[in-house]
Chain A
Amino acid sequence: MAPMTSPFASETFTLDGKPTPFAPGQTVLEAALAAGHYIPHLCWHPEMGNHGSCRLCVVEANGRIHASCALPAQPGLQVVSKSETLTRVRRTLLEMLFAEGNHFCPGCEKSGDCLLQALAYAHGMTASHFDPFYPQRRIDASHPDLWLDPNRCILCGLCVRASLAEGKEALVIGGRGIASRLLATSPSGLLGDTALAATDRAARICPVGALNFKEVGFASPIGKRRFDHRPPEAMSDKERYT
């Protein structure tokens, strides 16, 4: 993707040794991506903004590690987004996400089309070194056009934010700690009893294999799937985001 500089960019900060322009109010992640400088992220989205849950966008600045999606750009700020420590931290975060859910890619219709998987490949993750949690959450297939596998959900909150923004308020993340999970806001707790529709923005924003359309799986040949040959870093916004 050609580097794009915001027309309002006036100041600069230093990102991995390079001067990076930013507009007032931009976060380090927003300014970096606008300048064509990729920083790994899962829960940030150009339309929905930041969430702060995935922690993959961590960078070193002011002598500590910050989430770049929440770190406001400041004139002259020194930011490191690539280091051995950051790669190791991100790989650990990816291994935590894999261990927490049931990420059996061999039977998942989002394989090759999944941001979590692509980021794990890009970080050279050969396996999650943690003991698996093997969660036992039930699939919700109550909706006529959509289905939810909560054991693949990474709690990025993109579907919740999309549904809120378009006035449906169909989804919410509930529970605390490891019990946190995506829930339908209907009194029955079923997706089919919410106003969620297949045409909704929320219905197609999930970056992994959690919230899916029914009966459309395994349509792309292996070798032609979204992430088959290129890591997220090498993609345009159009391809990278759902």
Chain B
Amino acid sequence: MTATAPTTTPPRKIRIATASLAGCFGCHMSFADIDTRLLALSEWVTFDRSPLTDWKTVGECDIALIEGGVCNAENVEVLRAFRRAARILVAVGACAINGGLPAQRNHHRVEALLTHVFETDRHLAPGSRVPNDPELPLLLEHVHPIHEIVRVDYYLPGCPPTAEVIWTFLMDLLAGREPHFPYPMLRYD
């Protein structure tokens, strides 16, 4: 073994941001399924904006894990902010990859769906209307995978990806290896 050169600065922790767009939070739960390995991970990485932290805006980071497709205007804004902030942006799960099951709404006109749910459903109070406050983001005409909006560096398939896939992927990136998934690890369902 050769001695490593002394570093003048302490090694910087890898910074990870995570986001859910038109997601179900299931990919985040599958991430949490790495279980006690989360404790080891917490020694090696720092989390930026994430549903698991209190950071409200995303800052410069190494890795952004994005679950969910893009279904409304706020999703687009958040996705672009994560793309600007992150060196490596990862599409996590079926929704981020090809729109996922929410993209089945692409069979219908978005106006018809909103009217059906907020105005004509027989269990609504009389006078119910489609929400109109500018505080609320408008839905896009169709649901889109994130690669239609921004460039994607890696895809982690699955609905959700297994904890083993997420763990293997992060360990590969942390070690500077190119991620690789053998047949038994690949799942789209």
Contact = CB atoms under 8 A, between A and B. Distances in A.
A181 to B, nearest CB: 15
Given A127-B91, A231-B183, A104 B156 contact: no
B164 to A, nearest CB: 14
B183 A121 contact: yes
Contact of B97 (A127, A134, A229): A127
Contacts of A98: 98
A98 to B, nearest CB: 7
B186 interface: yes
A105 B187 CA distance: 9
Interface stretch (A1-9, A52-60, A66-74, A107-115): A107-115
A106 B188 contact: yes
B21 interface: no
A127 B183 contact: no
A79 B189 CA distance: 36
B15 to A, nearest CB: 24
A52 B181 CA distance: 31
B162 to A, nearest CB: 11
B25 interface: no
Nearest to A129: B147
A242 interface: no
Interface residues of A, number: 27
Given A122-B183, A127-B98, A128-B98, A107 B104 contact: yes
Contacts of A131: 145, 147-148
A132 interface: yes
A14 interface: no
Given A104-B104, A127-B155, A132 B94 contact: no
Interface in A91-142: 98-99, 102-108, 111-112, 117, 120-122, 124-129, 131-132, 134, 136
B20 to A, nearest CB: 16
Interface in B58-103: 91, 94, 97-101, 103
Given A104-B101, A231-B183, 4 more contacts: A106-B101, A106-B188, A106-B189, A107-B101
30 contacts: A98-B98, A102-B103, A104-B94, A104-B98, A104-B101, A105-B94, A105-B159, A105-B189, A106-B94, A106-B101, A106-B159, A107-B101, A121-B186, A122-B183, A124-B181, A126-B155, A126-B156, A126-B157, A126-B181, A127-B97, A127-B147, A127-B157, A128-B97, A128-B98, A132-B103, A132-B145, A134-B103, A134-B106, A134-B142, A136-B107
